[in-house]
Structure 1
Amino acid sequence: MIKLIDYLASKTGIENKSLLEKDVLLHMLLCELSENPFFKNNLVFKGGTCLIKCYLGYYRFSEDLDFSWVKQDEFEGKSQKEIRRILSKKISEVTSFLEIFSKKNNLDFKANKSDKRYIEIGGSNRQLTCKIWYRSAVLNIEQFIKIQINFVEIFQYPFKRIETKSVLTNIDESKELSFLFPEYAEIILKHPKVSCYDIREIFTEKVRAVLTRRGIKARDFIDLFLISKKEKINLKTIKFKVLEKTRFMMRYQKYIQNLKDFRLEKFVLGEEEKLMLRPIGNGFGKFLKNMHAFLIELAEELKSEAV
């Protein structure tokens, strides 16, 4: 693996080899998931990695794979107990697949719901986080890739089916890669089509995350800025969608509390900067000012409803 990472670093100009290594593993997993009938028919790709691989290209690294459960009508008319039972079965299917994938690729994951090293379940089975561990060939320490699934969600835009990008998408080195690393080339050069969120859905969900998550993550604002720039998002027009998306999560006490505690702080890129692969671009400061006012407006409206 280390020779492959050195090769990819030389071709892409990416200096952070440990993140490059993690990206290769994420791409391998995404390729496997795209061919698995259970995942293909039931999960929709979203979040930062989706943004990079399906819409904006490699402007930064992302370190996990995020999905939502597609068939929300399965839970309609069901009691909370019935929903928990249904979700428990689905979680077992997901974790069993990840264990098989991990064994095949010499990674460390066990489908043991009680072992928090590998699996964390929240919200009465509504949220699943899985950690697949590996020994980094670059750092020679244990690292993990994270898979998160929201089983109960509200969707505001139709899904897209998009061909994903890899870190080599815009670099024509397929023949050389196939010759030097035949065991990896097929996966790295593959561009699987996946069902994914509309980019506007990613925007509304990221705004919700800023409002309801503890702590500010600079990358959320960078993502929001780049989406806004690409799609020419009008904050006034999309306000209702953000409110609807956020209200849906207000049924959970932790999100209500996080919203009540919400306050914007100044941030610096800090640790986030190591994830960036290209400059953010002009207009970020102005965007932050407008987004700050937008978030305060949303927070005040939602807080008044939560009283």
Structure 2
Amino acid sequence: MRDYSEFVQFAVEKSGLRKPLLVEKDVLLHTLLYRLASDAEFREKYLFKGGSCLVKCYFGYYRFSVDLDFTYLRQERWEGLTKSERRRELVLEAELLAQLIERASRDLGLEFAADVGNRRFVEFGSGSRLVTYKLYRGGELLKVQVDLVETLLFEPQRRKARTLLWSVSVAGEERVYFREFLEGYREFEVLAYDLREILCEKVRAILTRSVQKLRDLYDLYMLEKAGLGIEDYEEEIARKIKLVLRYRRYRESSEKNRRGLELSLESMADSHELSLFVEQPDEEEFRHALMGALGYSELLSNLEKIWREIEEVKRGQAKTWEAIEGLREEQVKIWREIEAIKLEQAKIWEEIKALREETRKIWQEIDEIKREQAKIWEEIKALRENQEKLWQEVKALREEANKLWKEV
């Protein structure tokens, strides 16, 4: 196993963040991100998103992130495909990405196998639209989550992905000594989500997740501070939510959250979530942002239009399912008619088979007649030959009689 301890200690001292385990995970995740983004094909077809993107590409290290999130950019690839064709293409793309992750993880000393059939390393969700790659370092789990199918509403942005060291001075001799680690733990360009896209997906996560995470609310708080309010993107949020409502677990969670979305800071402030915070937000400001402008009253008020749109979608889905059921009933009738035709066809084939058997017997009789006929012709031929002999004898007798008459 590759030893990161010395470099992690260096990063801890330089950044002043006394959280070595989280710093080590950040080093691993960032280096993995660098290795993936170094691949030309990956770089142009996957979008960096989520909390890691907010931290590394937009707001800096206000909190630590524990995974990497991406979305597949070329959504037109799935258009016009049947369900089975699309699933086959999704799995194929997941396999290609797994192979790239395997190569990158090998260089980082992480345990991972590009085996999409092994749920220890690769797990599919939402009808193969979501893929989670699980990498291991000892007992530590690192996740890479990829949405292969997604509704993209805003243009991607080219952003710099930064590290804990981007704003600190690193001496020349330190760069030389830690060259092997700094090669991947450095600033580089990635294709990333627009902040508005992240906002919409963060709200979707809160509304469709069964258990709320404090980190998501912190991210919303930071987005609010950056001037992005939920009320300005209700339509876009609704479009994002519509995509996942076809899956039962999201529908059930969204219904539960609609009845009573629990945004209590106290209920979500577990030790793990709090340990991710680098900058502790001002408590009053945080509460005001989440419980006021983003809290129960205004948040749910702002989202009421979204829920109404969702209900419209559900009613539309219900009508669609009724139409589908009607088509299925019609299909059953058609299949019954086809079965009746097949039975009739089977009878016809039985009759044809009987006629063929009868025809075969007739041909056998004809062959027998031909054989009898041949025998008759043989007998006629023999009779003709005997007749010829008799005529020869008659001729000889006549000649003999003529001679006798002449003598008389």
CA contact (8 A) 1:72 1:153 kept: yes
Equivalent residue for 1:151, pick from 148, 157, 162: 148
Counterparts of 2:55 and 2:225, CA distance in 1: 15
Residue 221 of structure 1 is matched in structure 2 by 217
Does residue 272 (structure 1) correspond to residue 268 (structure 2)? The answer is no
Does residue 161 (structure 1) correspond to residue 155 (structure 2)? The answer is no
Equivalent residue for 1:42, pick from 42, 45, 53: 45
CA contact (8 A) 2:202 2:216 kept: yes
If you compute each CA radius of gyration, which structure gives the higher value, 1 or 2? 2
Residue 139 of structure 1 is matched in structure 2 by none
Bigger relative contact order, structure 1 or 2, given CA contacts below 8 A and separation 6+? 1
Does residue 87 (structure 1) correspond to residue 87 (structure 2)? The answer is no
* Greater percentage in helix: 2
Residue 172 of structure 2 is matched in structure 1 by 175
Residue 286 of structure 1 is matched in structure 2 by 288
Change (3 A) 1:176 1:278: farther
Structure 1's unaligned 5+ residue stretches are: 136-141
Counterparts of 2:126 and 2:225, CA distance in 1: 34
Instruction: Report deviation, 1:117.
Output: 1.5
Instruction: Report deviation, 1:16.
Output: 1.1
TM-score (norm 2): 0.70
Equivalent residue for 1:69, pick from 67, 72, 80: 72
CA contact (8 A) 1:211 1:295 kept: no
CA contact (8 A) 2:110 2:135 kept: yes
Residue 242 of structure 1 is matched in structure 2 by 237
CA RMSD of aligned residues (A): 1.6
Q: Specify the code of the residue in structure 2 equivalent to 1:109.
A: F
Residue 350 of structure 2 is matched in structure 1 by none
Q: Which moved more, 1:252-261 or 1:201-210?
A: 252-261
Instruction: Report deviation, 1:186.
Output: 2.1
Q: Specify the code of the residue in structure 2 equivalent to 1:267.
A: L
Matched pairs, number: 299
Change (3 A) 1:100 1:36: same
CA contact (8 A) 1:260 1:303 kept: no
What's the % identity of the aligned pairs? 31
CA contact (8 A) 2:105 2:111 kept: yes
Structure 2's unaligned 5+ residue stretches are: 316-408
Counterparts of 1:96 and 1:83, CA distance in 2: 20
CA contact (8 A) 2:28 2:108 kept: no
Instruction: Report deviation, 1:83.
Output: 0.5
Counterparts of 1:58 and 1:229, CA distance in 2: 15
CA contact (8 A) 1:177 1:185 kept: no
Counterparts of 2:171 and 2:81, CA distance in 1: 50
Equivalent residue for 1:296, pick from 284, 288, 300: 300
SS of equivalent to 1:169: coil
Does residue 57 (structure 1) correspond to residue 60 (structure 2)? The answer is yes
Aligned ranges for residues 114-153 of structure 1 at < 5 Å?
Answer: 114-135=117-138, 142-153=139-150
Q: Which moved more, 1:249-258 or 1:207-216?
A: 249-258
Instruction: Report deviation, 1:179.
Output: 3.1
SS of equivalent to 1:78: coil
Q: Which moved more, 1:205-214 or 1:34-43?
A: 34-43
Counterparts of 1:248 and 1:294, CA distance in 2: 24
